[in-house]
Amino acid sequence: MRRFKTTIVGAGNVGSTLAQRLVEKQLTDVVLIDRVTDRGEGKTLDLQQSAPIIGFDTKIIGTHEYGPTEGSDIVVITAGFPRKPGMSRDDLLKTNVEVVAEVTENIVKYSPDAIVIVVTNPLDAMCHTALKVSGFPKSRVIGMAGVLDTARFRTFIAMELDVSVENIHAFVLGGHGDAMVPIPRYSNVAGIPIPELLSQDRIDALIERTRNGGAEIVSLLKTGSAYYAPSAATVEMIEAIMVDKKMILPCSALCEGEYGIHNTYVGVPCKLGKEGLLEIVDVRLANPELEMLHRSAAQVREQSAKVDSMLAEMAALRKPSKKK
């Protein structure tokens, strides 16, 4: 029986932590690839040497070439430049479009049937990049965003109320950025809506902290960005796909009319299974909530338009000049 195979592109903190989580759970064989020669190889060798202690037999390969990635079922794109203090996700756009476009071309070449999970920021725009470059159906290009944003919201609610995180169910929509849209009335503690447990002032404070969750970590780390929570969020998506759970998770997906949003990647509730994105769950929103979601989507559309221009410029530069 063929084993499930996942490739992680980028052996930085997110990629290597994701690899560790996957092999220790023995979910899937893993290929960790990084364009920095020997970094993927070094990190996987270290992981392999932990296997006798932790107790796993998962196969893991480190490489700086795409050959060993061939035939992957899932490819996770973590490659790209992280945010530094004072940088917004928008500041990363141009540089990371080039990175994600190159990675996606190699995914198409070596794993044309793969499901692509994008982690690189600015996330929604990078999903747009991967979709355009790959030509894959939208079911096979999704972004890890809402799972992370929701986890942050759940964490802050649990801290505020001093209850177990397992009691918290939260709902965060919109782009992965400052315009994300936490929905308090669909968020609850053991079934109790949080507006019945917290004042509006406290809810607003938790929403604001959630929106700035990534920036808060960047400001504390000084030279890096979050990786424990993003890697855990990605594992949850991979497991939902691999086991065909049909689990509903908030992910960045291409909306084509859902929520009145067209041709735009944005965080929405998604049913995930063995084919990738099975369905976008269209939840009834109040007018103020829908307006916030549309504003968030509008920001993503602006970035996506810039991506289209950049991809067109890159394509033009590749065309051989005609000899006169």
Cα separation of 174 and 176, whole Å? 7
Let me know: does 237 contact 147? Beta carbons within 8 Å. Answer: yes
Please provide the DSSP assignment of 3-69 as one string: PPEEEEE--SHHHHHHHHHHHHHT-SEEEEE-SSTTHHHHHHHHHHHHHHHHT----EEEESSSGGG
DSSP three-state, residue 213: helix
Residue indicated by tokens 């203090």 = 85
- Helix (DSSP H) and strand (DSSP E) numbers for the chain: 9, 14
> Catalytic residue at 262?
no
Q: Is 244 left (phi over 0), alpha (psi -120 to 50) or beta?
A: left
Question: What Å distances lie between residue 224 and 227, 233, 314, CA to CA?
Answer: 9, 18, 29
Q: Which amino acid is at 49?
A: Q
Cβ burial of 298 (10 Å; 0-12, 13-18, 19+) is middle
Cα separation of 160 and 316, whole Å? 53
Q: How many residues does the chain have?
A: 324
Question: What's the gap between Cα 87 and its chain centre?
Answer: 19
Q: Which of 128, 169, 176, 262 is catalytic?
A: 176
Q: Which of 127, 129, 120 is nearest to 141 (CA)?
A: 127
Q: Which residues contact 309 (CB under 8 A, 6 or more apart)?
A: none
Q: Report the catalytic residues.
A: 176
